[in-house]
Amino acid sequence: MNNHTQIYTQAQITERVEEMAKEITDSYPASKPLLAVCVIKGAVIFYADLVKAIKDRDVRFGFVAASSYYNSEGGRMQSTGIVNMKYSSIDESEIVGAEVLIVEDIIDTGRTLKALKDYFTAKGANTVKIATLLNKPDCRVVDIDPDYTAFTLEGNPYIIGYGLDNAQQFRNLDGVYKIN
């Protein structure tokens, strides 16, 4: 894979995920369940590692597919700004009064997470927080910031591996890579 460069190894990711999980554990009361929402497909691997590392909390699972529509322009995917909730495993009754933690792979323009955060807030969640593996703050178009971030990236690299794809390939790569 000479057109991909590894930027984080599995060991580096594991270390950060464990630190994040501790921070998350400490900031939620033990007395209430936490509804951890995985944004599929990209966050699946990060989600699995993160929820396992959250100790002594009643963690409930939820899965949503909500994505910005992307166009392929000059070989790169560009956000069109339209966000669609394509799937949700979560009953609306589960959201009312819940502590919701949205778990995302990467924040780029921020549109997907803004839409998701607004959705859970509108459905009556008590709190809605965001945990992301990667954050690209230089690419932000809407005003949204994650509460927990594993790694912050400068500029606009295109990332694959550890759940993230390029045209559905490379999700199973061990570690995070950037396309050169």
Q: Which residues bind ligand 5GP (CB under 6 A)?
A: 42, 68, 79, 104-112, 158-160, 164-165
> What's the closest the beta carbon of residue 40 comes to ligand 5GP, in angstroms?
10
Instruction: Please name the residues in contact with 118: beta carbons below 8 A apart, sequence gap of 6 or more.
Output: none
**If you write DSSP's letter for every residue of 12-59 in order, what string do you get?**
HHHHHHHHHHHHHHHHS-TTS-EEEEEETTTTHHHHHHHHHH--SS-E
42 versus 62: smaller Cβ distance to ligand 5GP = 42
64 versus 107: smaller Cβ distance to ligand 5GP = 107
Catalytic residue among 108, 138, 147, 174: 108
Q: Residue by residue, what is the 3-state secondary structure of 104-162?
A: EEEECCCHHHHHHHHHHHHCCCCEEEEEEEEECHHHCCCCCCCCEEEEECCCCCCEEEC
> What's the closest the beta carbon of residue 155 comes to ligand 5GP, in angstroms?
11
Contact, 177 vs 6, CB < 8 A?
A: yes
> Which of 58, 48, 60 has its CA nearest to residue 91?
60
> What's the closest the beta carbon of residue 134 comes to ligand 5GP, in angstroms?
7
CA distance 23 to 2: 36
Which DSSP letter does residue 169 get? B
Whether 105 is catalytic is no
28 versus 67: smaller Cβ distance to ligand 5GP = 67
> What's the closest the beta carbon of residue 79 comes to ligand 5GP, in angstroms?
4
126 versus 179: smaller Cβ distance to ligand 5GP = 179
Active-site residue list: 108
